[in-house]
Amino acid sequence: MSETSDLTRNQSLVLGTLTGATGPLSAYSILDRVRSDGIKAPLQIYRALDKLVELGLAHRLESLNAFVACAHSHEHHEGLAAFAICESCGRVDEFADDVVEERLAAWSQSTGFKTERTTIEIRGHCKDCVAGARP
């Protein structure tokens, strides 16, 4: 059975909202979009988001205090989640880099640091904005 079939109604609504969004959403933006579906309290959103992040179906972008649906079918429970965030248009691209992940794992092992999760956020400008295609 897939993880998405085990989701509660609220978790499914929040995941559907994130999946359909064109960019990252704050918890309150999500609440505004699902209020008509019966979710009325921020706590309901935060609980759903916590579970979606735990399952690797969504990611929290720390620098934006916002959330995005996972763009990959693989899980990031223990691996690296990396994001390129455009300062101009708000586009967020999720990517993985095996070399960076291996180097961080080697560092953790050599120092005895027990990594719980690794999230890298790169802020800059996407190629479309650099080329002037977007404001």
> Looking at per-residue confidence, does 117 or 109 come out higher?
109
- Residue 105, number of CB atoms within 10 A of its CB: 15
pLDDT tens by residue, 3-32: 667 999 999 999 999 999 999 999 999 999
Same domain, 117 and 66: no
Same domain, 38 and 102: no
Confidence of residue 133 (pLDDT cuts 50, 70, 90): low
Please give the residue range of the domain that contains residue 18: 1-70
Same domain, 119 and 106: yes
Confidence of residue 109 (pLDDT cuts 50, 70, 90): very high
> CA 114, CA 14: separation in Å to the nearest integer?
31
**Cβ 85 vs Cβ 122: under 8 Å:** yes
- The whole model's pTM is what? 0.83
Same domain, 93 and 132: yes
Same domain, 27 and 59: yes
- Check which CATH number belongs to the domain holding 58 and give it: 1.10.10.10
> CA 54, CA 13: separation in Å to the nearest integer?
16
pLDDT tens by residue, 58-102: 999 999 999 999 987 654 445 788 999 999 999 999 998 889 989
Nearest to 105 by CA among 120, 94, 96, 115: 115
